[in-house]
Amino acid sequence: MSQLTLQQARTLIDGALAAARELRFKPMGVVVVDAAAQVVASAREDGASALRLEIALGKAAAAVGMGTNSRALAQRAKDLPAFFTSIASVAQQTFIAQTGAVLIVDAAGVLLGAAGASGGSGDEDEQIVIAGIAAAGLQHT
């Protein structure tokens, strides 16, 4: 059974934050969750504004909970706002359907978890978690 390790999560976060610095994005928060949407690791850069980790967690948990990247969830939320508001109100984990989280899979395509970021635009958040996933030698969908 594949599972996301703490070392992989830390490497992912380091890679994501390195990408954010290289691209000169605002200070970021990054959260990595496992396939049950439980936090494996998180980090908030110096100077990142309040709620960065909570928002990143909400994006990652939503992605795992719905089985798709948060970019797709953001579009679905626009099309079905009442449905997504209902999900957010009953979810045990924070649920934010906004771009910035990507599912993490192993080489066989088995879901390992998700990585979410907050601090930049949704596109910037997504870009750095994809870079982090690559840095950790993992794959994304």
Alpha helices in 30-69 (DSSP H): 52-66
Assigned CATH for 6-140:
3.30.450.150
Q: Where are the beta strands (DSSP E) in 1-141?
A: 29-34, 39-44, 101-105, 111-118, 139-140
Q: What is the pLDDT at residue 89?
A: 87
- Domain chopping of the chain, boundaries: 6-140
Backbone φ and ψ for 96, nearest 5 degrees, come out as -125, 115
pTM value > 0.85: yes
The reported pLDDT for the residue numbered 88 is 87
Q: What is the pLDDT of residue 91?
A: 86
- The pLDDT averaged over each successive group of 10 residues in the chain (141 residues) is 91 98 98 97 97 97 95 93 90 92 94 98 98 97 89
